[in-house]
Amino acid sequence: MITPNVSQCLRWLVPAQLIVQMYQAIEHTWIILAFYLVCLCLKWNQLQSGQKAFKRLYRILGLVIALVIVAGLGQSYGYLTAVISLLAFTQSLKLLEFESYRDLFGITCVQLFLIAAGLLLHVELIHAVVLTISLLLSVIALLQVQLVKLKAKKLSIYASKLMLLSLPLALLLFFAMPRLPPLWQMPKSQNAQTGLSETMKFGDIANLSRSNKLAFRATFDNLPPEQKDLYWRVLVHDIYDGTEWRSSLTLKKKPLSAYLMSRLSWQEQGAYWDYAILAEPSYQPWMFALDIAKVSGIKAKMAADFTWYADKPINQALEYRVRSYYEAPVQQRPDNWFYQINLQLPEQGNEKTRQWAQQLKTQFTEPELLIEHVLEQFAEQAYYYTLSPPRLLDDQIDEFLFKTKQGFCAHYASSFVFVMRAAGIPARVVAGYQGGEWNPKGEYFSVYQYDAHAWAEVYLPEQGWVRFDPTAYVAPERIEQDLSSALGDEEEFLANNRFALVKYKDNWLVNEVRLGFANINYQWSKWIVNYNQNSRSDFWKDLLRFDWWKLLKWLSLAIFVFFSYLIYRGLKHSQRADINKPYQQALSILAASGVKREPGMTARELLPQLKALSDESHTVWLKICQLIDRHEYQTESSKIQRKIYSHMTKQVQELREACKNGRKD
């Protein structure tokens, strides 16, 4: 049994563990990291002072403390946190009692689990790289125990080579393993849900705009549309209760949805955009699409308001194709239901706005003129577009329209819809994203959470549903360029995210680097993370057609075969070299029978002793001696050497028998 040099091992192990512990600490709770650091300090102290291993009592005490904390975390953060912290605590406690090779093995196993756990939630390239480094470090720690004298540099080269050797297998698994849908629902951690939520309050979208997390990417087949046409619809809110907007048409209410669908009249006609969306995990079912869209490539349903829902929440990067008919008009045969939903307002409240709407209604007979007038009001009066509007109390719309006049897109959209409804024009709020950043290197749009937006749709009898964006009248820069240009000088874009590179995009170099990295990440998600069932079946179709992608796959297959051959040869070689193994077995059998072997003795030098033991064992041992001589000292082909090896194992068995018989005699 090897006893590892603990402190030498820890040099590699600690950074590896810190990485994974850090991931879980950021994802779940800092208690995880704190616990690890405490254990590390204790271990360090033990090593420095040269004390012996911790007593059983202390170890049990540590376990009890850990379990209590886990139980507490489970109560307050949910059971995913509890499970992960249990793993992390296991690692910390195992570190505390790290003495033997066996312990190291356990530590490494837990480490692998934690690395996998890190990859569950962080699929970007950079995380893959960091976690691979952690993996490499733990492999080095394992190797260090075996190769004590090796220097750090050689060791890391050796470990890297080992990991490269495992690459062919990884590639095979990646390409050939079926991607089964998970048998159980992956529990999501509490702050994992990102993006728009089912309801919309005034401040929600402004809050979202402080995040520079990626929402999705879009790649257009042909010429991409202009910025101002990029209204990514996600959710339609048509019920207002005085404080927040909700959707009536979720898929849950199937009969209603089906009924409304039947009353729609629209055709897939006119000009369209074809594009692919690569959505980041949002843990929500709703999808992103422009205008009237048709989604293909995954299982999804369209609601009567033309928003799309996936069958399952988007828990991992998801790619789907969309065709958007941006000119197709949507007619609807209005009925009671329709008016009831799209003219719905709370019973009371916001009286001032209602009065204004009534006044407008008498002033303008044509709804188009009324809409134009309201929008002009936004443009002409002192309305101000800001990320941090003053807090609104009761009668939010009144207060906003006539008093504070400072708001974000949600304020404008919901006030506009409120006015429309009060004036008897059917209208609804649409939440989604507007715009996106064009990446010229990868030729795609990146849409971030700060692109979140809300606008309005109004139903005009002749034209059907028409999009109006009141924000465009208040802050046209928001629509034509992006959020950072729309915000005034005194307001900082992504104020609480000091290191977001997007803030420095006026600097040419920073911007180039940022876009370059974004593109690498995009390719990574597109080809690696999102390599799913669909692209896999493409692989087999590709075998019939030639293209470079196919070539790449074949090349990796060839590399795999080559490496497998190398491994095969290596195994054969080691088998040939390893006659020592059965020889040592034989020696231990002899030792049990009382044959004394002095150090440095050859097999033949033991013959006289075996003669004294029994004739049978003497004969067998003579055969073993001949086999060893042939194997070690005669230049034989590897085939014969393997035969000799198998003979050897047989002879060792016979020796065992012979010695047994000898003892009975």
Per the CB < 8 A criterion, the answer to whether 96 and 108 are in contact is no
CA distance 235 to 237: 6
Find the binding residues for another protein in span 240-279 (CB under 8 A): none
Report the residue number, 486 or 648, with the smaller CB distance to another protein: 648
Per the CB < 8 A criterion, the answer to whether 631 and 641 are in contact is yes
Number of residues lying near another protein (CB under 8 A): 17
Report the residue number, 255 or 599, with the smaller CB distance to another protein: 599
Per DSSP, 387 falls in state: S
149 binds another protein (CB under 8 A): no
Report the residue number, 357 or 628, with the smaller CB distance to another protein: 628
Catalytic residue among 9, 39, 409, 659: 409
* Beta carbon of residue 101, minimum distance to another protein (angstroms, whole number): 24
In order of 143, 345, 366, 428, the CA distances from 361 in angstroms are: 81, 16, 9, 18
Report the residue number, 263 or 581, with the smaller CB distance to another protein: 581
Respond yes or no: is residue 618 known to be catalytic: no
Per the CB < 8 A criterion, the answer to whether 524 and 124 are in contact is yes
Report the residue number, 508 or 633, with the smaller CB distance to another protein: 633
Window contacting another protein (CB under 8 A); options: 132-140, 365-373, 470-478, 599-607: 599-607
Report the residue number, 2 or 601, with the smaller CB distance to another protein: 601
In order of 78, 192, 316, the CA distances from 182 in angstroms are: 20, 18, 12
CA distance 285 to 283: 7
- Mark 578-597 with x for binding to another protein (rule: CB under 8 A) and - for no binding: -xx--x--------------
CA distance 308 to 233: 9
* Beta carbon of residue 598, minimum distance to another protein (angstroms, whole number): 6
Window contacting another protein (CB under 8 A); options: 223-231, 261-269, 533-541, 600-608: 600-608
CA distance 53 to 96: 9
* Beta carbon of residue 589, minimum distance to another protein (angstroms, whole number): 16
CA distance 418 to 342: 10
User: Max CA-CA distance within the chain?
Assistant: 125
Q: Which two tokens stand for residue 324?
A: 């958007």
In order of 421, 569, 575, 607, 655, the CA distances from 631 in angstroms are: 95, 18, 12, 19, 18
Find the binding residues for another protein in span 277-296 (CB under 8 A): none
* Beta carbon of residue 146, minimum distance to another protein (angstroms, whole number): 20
Respond yes or no: is residue 109 known to be catalytic: no
CA distance 164 to 567: 12
For tokens 């795999």, the residue is 560
Q: Considering only residues 600, 637, 639, 664, which one is a binding residue for another protein as defined by CB under 8 A?
A: 600
Q: Which two tokens stand for residue 286?
A: 């709703």
Respond yes or no: is residue 409 known to be catalytic: yes
Report the residue number, 164 or 591, with the smaller CB distance to another protein: 591
* Beta carbon of residue 155, minimum distance to another protein (angstroms, whole number): 25
Report the residue number, 478 or 631, with the smaller CB distance to another protein: 631
In whole angstroms, what separates CA 223 from the centre of its chain? Answer: 31
599 binds another protein (CB under 8 A): yes
Collect all residues with Cβ–Cβ distance below 8 Å to 143 and sequence separation of at least 6: 150, 155, 158, 159, 162
* Beta carbon of residue 625, minimum distance to another protein (angstroms, whole number): 9
Per the CB < 8 A criterion, the answer to whether 196 and 448 are in contact is no
Catalytic residue among 204, 305, 469, 482: 469
Helix (H, G, I), strand (E, B) or coil at 359: helix
> Residue 460 belongs to what H/E stretch?
strand 452-460
Query: How long, in residues, is the chain?
Result: 665
* Beta carbon of residue 624, minimum distance to another protein (angstroms, whole number): 12
Per the CB < 8 A criterion, the answer to whether 43 and 96 are in contact is yes
* Beta carbon of residue 580, minimum distance to another protein (angstroms, whole number): 6
Catalytic residue among 453, 482, 618, 625: 453
Collect all residues with Cβ–Cβ distance below 8 Å to 227 and sequence separation of at least 6: 435, 436, 479, 480, 481, 482
Q: Considering only residues 366, 462, 489, 598, which one is a binding residue for another protein as defined by CB under 8 A?
A: 598
Report the residue number, 325 or 583, with the smaller CB distance to another protein: 583
368 binds another protein (CB under 8 A): no
- Mark 601-640 with x for binding to another protein (rule: CB under 8 A) and - for no binding: xxxxx----------------------xx--xxxx-----
* Beta carbon of residue 632, minimum distance to another protein (angstroms, whole number): 5
Binding site for another protein (CB under 8 A): 579-580, 583, 598-605, 628-629, 632-635
Catalytic positions, written as ranges:
409, 453, 469
